[in-house]
Amino acid sequence: MKKCNYLLLTCLFTLFLFQSCTEVEVKHEEPTQLISNDVAKELNRNYNNTRHRLVSQSINKEDANSAWYSIKELENYIYYIKKQGKEKGYNVNGIRFYLGAYPNTREYNEKANMTTIFLTPTGKRTDVQKGSFLSLPAMTIQTLEENPDIEEIEPMNFGTMGHPPKATYPLN
């Protein structure tokens, strides 16, 4: 009888460990920032009619007005910044998208002088001073902004512009 109880307890414990080690499905909510296709068309049209034309004229070639990243690239970057944030003592809470322009050098070939979009993680330092008797939070200089950029983690760039670089929403 003791062997049966021991075996039953062992099985239950093993089942508990297996169940607690399995990945829990994360529930995602529908985004609240969705816009209609008509609004997206208007935004793209406004950009192309006001800014894109001026930029293209100033660099003497058709400038990029969109960038594309695969889902896999974005998921990999999100995993990377979360991992790096944890290792470097940050709570990564978002990604900021910046507009930039490639240098006008041969190194960038057809992208030289063109607009790009790069991503950088945002968040706040969370680490605690080590060796302190009271373990007070580390003293860091923060901007007044709620979601400062984390410069200790590398930004991501080099999305695909497409050929030609100018895209009109929706791209078919």
- 101-145: pLDDT as tens digits: 889 899 888 888 888 889 999 999 885 544 444 444 444 444 446
pTM exceeding 0.75: no
| 109: DSSP letter | G
Measured between alpha carbons, how far is 142 from 130 in angstroms, rounded to an integer? 20
Residue 10 identity: T
Residues 23, 127: Cα–Cα separation, whole Å: 26
